[in-house]
Amino acid sequence: MESAEIARRFLRFFEERGHTVVPSASLIAEDPTLLLVNAGMVPFKPFFLGQRTPPYPRATSVQKCIRTPDIDEVGKTTRHGTFFQMLGNFSFGDYFKEQAIPFAWDLLTRSEADGGFGFPEDRLWATVYHDDDEAFEIWHKKVGLPEDRIQRRGMADNFWSMGVPGPCGPCSEIYYDRGPEYGREGGPVADEDRYLEVWNLVFMQFERGAGAGKEGWPILGELPAKNIDTGMGLERMAAILQGVDNIYEIDTMWRILDRAADLTKTKYGRDARSDVSLRVITDHVRSGTMMVADGVVPSNEGRGYVLRRILRRSVRHLRLLGAGDERYLHELTAVAIDGMGETYPELRSDAAHIHTVIDAEEQSFLTTLRTGTAIFDASVEETKRRKEPTLSGVQAFTLHDTYGFPIDLTLEMAAEQGLSVDENEFRRLMDEQRQRAKADAAAKKTGNLDVSVLGGLLEQTGSVRFTGYDAVAGEARVVGLLVGGASVPSAGQGSEVEVVLDRTPFYAEGGGQLADQGVIRFGNGAEVEVLDVQQPLSGLIVHRGRVRSGEAQAGDTAYAEIDVERRRAISRSHTATHMVHRGFRNALGESAAQAGSENAPGRFRFDFTASGAVPLSVLRDVEDEVNAILIDDLGVHASVHPIDEARKMGALALFGEKYGDEVRVVEIGEYSRELCGGTHVARSGQLGLIKVLGEQSIGAGVRRVEALVGIDAFRYLAKESVLVAQLSEQLKTRREELPERISGVVTRLREAEKELEKIRSQQVLQVAGELAGGAEDVGGVAFVGHRVPDGTSADDLRRLAMDVRGRLGGRPAVVIVAGVPKDRPVIVVATSEEARARGLRAGALVGVAAKVLGGGGGGKDDLAQGGGANAGAIDEALSAVRRTVATT
């Protein structure tokens, strides 16, 4: 029975019994305590807790789930996986144990012809919580299960929760006896490999508190109603019904595994190590496909890091199977989409997006992996040379910090080499780096100020009142004056000072908007030029500047006045950012969410999530749409609302921002509505013009657009017009014909470069016969060591090495070719079959040469490539390989 049919039967059975079929929720959990949905009941958690009224008394679903605590075990066993589908039926105060248990028994034992799963009754067992006599009686008296096939178990086994505070309750699990060939008798308590759990019936009636582990956390009380939450793992059920030994052999997973084996020319079941790699690839490709489909993009934190980790593990295990630099994830992803597409049609409709994200991460990591692996190999060699069992934390940190090598990958690869990693030292160095980063960020906010001094000021004066939404100037009182981080009574001309007022029209940098600048005039005639404004503590606004004249005094009255033109320019940029944000959402979908911005005078940058480069046509469409809105001269209004009300209004909350109970909503007509604390224009027409300059990647899954606003945009277009006129004059063609003319010039130039490259390549290969004829006999091995002219490409190095090897006939031969394609040396080693029979392997020999060059390398036994940093040591590297050949 195929997986899709198992799901259909489950849903049909419960729909016929009054349950509403609910589609799977996204893997991105709404629950703030979870990164990803890890159980079938997660979408229904508010109903169980009584926080929301369910729209139906009974429900059934096939829920996508991700669990990653055991990710390191994936592949090593046939039981562990990250993505799985949970079939479930749910009751929200409607029915309880007396119906849930018979429902399960009926579906499992009903014949396949009648829509059931056809399990033999005599092969089913049940477990119940140790003091759940009610469930025991239902199993025995109502269902008819013999008492000796009902076992009682403790909290660790038969009491369920999500692992975090929330709903919980005792459970009853149903097991299938696979037979004596799978293990010993005695029921689930004796052997859970033979007795395989197929369904967990949770009697959700309590709420748990915080605590680790499967037991020992407090029960806070009873839920508002007694509920049912059941979970049947679709993959495990498929393994039983399809007659295979484990989840990796079921229909939806075997297709991926089989294709991965085919691509890497391996065979499943022949070698334990390759089997582990094939299982890792299979699970992780499927999991990654499902996560990307639900909007997760690779990153270095949160759920994005989970995705990045599993995709990168897939790439590495493909390389372990001999994939080299071949990119296979695209094809494997296609197999995953095809296998899961019947149950989740959105996979097929979103296939292009899924491929874009996964392909980009694969390409990025292959580059990281090549460099990182070479450095890792050198570190391992050095560690083993010193006969130490542990790779230092410094080496692991360097791999992570300099070469982008994930620590979990370092741990895994070290274990394969029989080494451990000094994780404590690594974590210490990581913490120090984080502290430095925090200190750098804090320096931007606090400068030389002592935070304790700031805290004292805030406690003494209370929050500073910001008046800048309605005023650009106003009277105030100087409540704090600091020099070098210390409070002072006064500061003379030329002093660098920090001024705290009881109220201010100056906007402190935040929310992507740069700070105001201006002047503070003291009552005694002194003036402070304000260059920056920060809010180092919530509610405390600090003006940084220089005493321009007179003597600034604490406690004095003051008149604060901002640079109005600067404020207006920044406000235009901020309003433009909101409009461009809306424009990209309209063009790319709601997944194009803002991920950062900077609003400066006359220009802004806008970061947003996207799986790949945004086509030029889309940039132009967004630019046209926003400029059309400017002509409509929409009113821009700001209002304060409770956050729940603001969300109901459809106001967008931005990435990385924190909001209180009361929030400010900025609306641009009906076009845009966002939560925002910044300053804006009064009408959209005041922006004048927006010119999008272009977009670029600033990380996996995040793009950056830069644009100009107002007079800056006009000046840019004016300059561009002059430039076009100059090009038109030089190329003697009309403006509208410039793209075609320039394209023709570029095409001819590229063709000329290709011809030159072809000539250079031919010149390099012309020496192949001469090199083969002059091969040196080194201990019975034909040895060729040759340095090509600088600038010869790495591809030509490989071609020359293979050509010379081919000309050396059927004798033992080692060919090493070196050169400097760009600014770093590259070494290629090729060995004949006869040389390999004598123990001369290209991968080992290239390592000898690369070590001399101060780098690393790797490859297959017949052909390998390496490099380093010391081009002056190429001759020494060739000699080192020759000595190795002579002594082998």
- Could you list the residues known to form a binding site for Zn(2+), using ranges: 574, 578, 676, 680
State how far the Cα of 498 lies from the Cα of 482, in Å rounded to an integer: 5
3-state class of 218 per DSSP? coil
Widest CA span in the chain = 98
Token pair of 772 as six digits:
């083969």
State how far the Cα of 229 lies from the Cα of 86, in Å rounded to an integer: 11
Q: Which residues are annotated as a binding site?
A: 574, 578, 676, 680
Q: How far apart are the first and last CA of the chain?
A: 58
Q: In this structure, is the dihedral angle defined by the CA atoms of residues 216, 217, 218 and 224, taken in order, positive or negative?
A: negative
Q: Which H or E element spans position 875?
A: helix 874-887
CA gyration radius for the chain? 34
Q: How many angstroms separate the Cα of 171 from the Cα of each of 128, 234, 251, 357?
A: 6, 19, 30, 40
Token pair of 467 as six digits:
């008046």
Q: Residue 154: what residue type? A: G
Token pair of 498 as six digits:
């920090």
Residue with token string 């920060």: 534
Q: Which distant-in-sequence residues (6+ apart) come within 8 Å of 384 by Cβ?
A: 417, 419
State how far the Cα of 34 lies from the Cα of 63, in Å rounded to an integer: 15
Token pair of 572 as six digits:
């235009």
What residues form DSSP beta bridges with 421?
391
3-state class of 331 per DSSP? helix
Nearest to 502 by CA among 542, 470, 472: 542
Q: How many angstroms separate the Cα of 872 from the Cα of each of 100, 101, 146, 825, 852?
A: 77, 77, 82, 9, 10
Q: How many angstroms separate the Cα of 315 from the Cα of each of 326, 355, 397?
A: 10, 15, 21
State how far the Cα of 47 lies from the Cα of 385, in Å rounded to an integer: 61
Q: Residue 777: what residue type? A: D
Q: Which distant-in-sequence residues (6+ apart) come within 8 Å of 520 by Cβ?
A: 499, 501, 527, 528, 530, 543, 545, 558, 559, 560, 561
Residue with token string 């139906």: 56
- Residue 346, φ and ψ in degrees, nearest 5: -65, -20
Q: Which distant-in-sequence residues (6+ apart) come within 8 Å of 240 by Cβ?
A: 176, 178, 196, 198
Q: Residue 751: what residue type? A: E
State how far the Cα of 469 lies from the Cα of 505, in Å rounded to an integer: 8
Q: Which distant-in-sequence residues (6+ apart) come within 8 Å of 172 by Cβ?
A: 97, 101, 126, 127, 128, 129, 132, 135, 139, 158, 200, 201, 203
Nearest to 469 by CA among 574, 545, 550, 626: 574
DSSP state of 515: P
Q: Which distant-in-sequence residues (6+ apart) come within 8 Å of 148 by Cβ?
A: none
What residues form DSSP beta bridges with 529?
519, 546
3-state percent breakdown (helix, strand, coil) of the chain, nearest 5: 45, 25, 30
Token pair of 28 as six digits:
């991105």
3-state class of 832 per DSSP? coil
Nearest to 92 by CA among 23, 164, 18: 18
3-state class of 421 per DSSP? strand
